[in-house]
């Protein structure tokens, strides 16, 4: 059983790119610009390995291929993985690894990395199926063993009430219709009828 598989039912790389890169919700677009600025401000990026966990459609490739010594993109979803491999051909210093991010030690066992920056961006933590704590623990182990850092980007609980529901309405072709019985605004939990959390 794979514990921390990113899950977005009916995930389609082209739809994902359209919703995040071509026609994003304005607040999501600002969130992604802020992520990019934050990545650019990391200390000495040119000598670091960036590890993009749940890399999806390779949204970070344009910035990370220019910024880092190397980027390792880890993805488990077979549909996204095919698209990710195809997109990686257009960039230098990108390596794709198929696997579950809770098994980072095993996935990176034969890989030499120094001072890595492990990335879990654009609310990917919220899309993990299973125990998100196991994913964070695996990230912590790799960062500690290799003198690295971790960057996790999340949407705040308050954001769900103020703009999150509108965002998911905009992205319902990917995430599905909102499940109003299971969505809990007080706890900051969104759930769609297709199981996207």
Specify the range with the lowest mean pLDDT, choosing from 81-85, 155-159, 161-165. Answer: 155-159
With tokens 């030499």, the residue in question is: 112
Residue 114 clears pLDDT 60, i.e. is over it? yes
| 51-81 pLDDT, tens digit each | 999 998 898 999 999 888 899 999 988 988 9
What are the phi and psi torsion angles at 148 (to 5°)? -110, -175
Residue 149 clears pLDDT 80, i.e. is over it? yes
Distance CA 94, CA 84 (A): 10
The dihedral built from the CA positions of residue 159, 35, 38 and 96, taken in this order, carries a sign that is positive
What's the whole-model pTM score?
A: 0.81
pLDDT for position 128: 72
Secondary structure of residue 57 in the 3-state scheme: coil
Say if residues 151 and 120 touch (Cβ distance below 8 Å): yes
Alpha-carbon torsion, ordered 135, 141, 146, 148, to 10 deg: 60
Q: What is the mean pLDDT of the chain?
A: 84
């Amino acid at each position: 059983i794979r514990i921390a598989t990113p899950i977005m039912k009916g995930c389609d790389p082209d739809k994902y790119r359209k919703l995040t890169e071509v026609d994003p919700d304005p607040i999501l677009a600002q969130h992604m610009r802020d992520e990019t600025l934050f990545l650019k401000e990391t200390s000495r990026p040119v000598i670091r390995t960036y590890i993009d966990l749940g890399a999806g459609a390779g949204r970070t490739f344009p910035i990370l291929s220019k910024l880092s010594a190397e980027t390792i993109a880890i993805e488990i979803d077979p549909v996204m993985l095919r698209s990710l491999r195809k997109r990686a051909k257009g960039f230098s210093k990108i390596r794709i690894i198929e696997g579950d991010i809770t098994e980072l030690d095993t996935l990176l066992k034969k890989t030499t990395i120094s001072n890595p920056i492990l990335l879990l961006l654009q609310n990917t933590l919220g899309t993990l199926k299973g125990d998100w704590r196991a994913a964070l623990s695996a990230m912590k182990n790799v960062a500690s063993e290799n003198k690295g850092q971790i960057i996790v980007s999340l949407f705040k609980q308050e954001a769900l009430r103020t703009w999150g529901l509108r965002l998911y309405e905009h992205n319902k072709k990917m995430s599905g219709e909102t499940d109003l019985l299971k969505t809990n605004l007080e706890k900051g939990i969104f759930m769609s009828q297709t199981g996207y959390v």
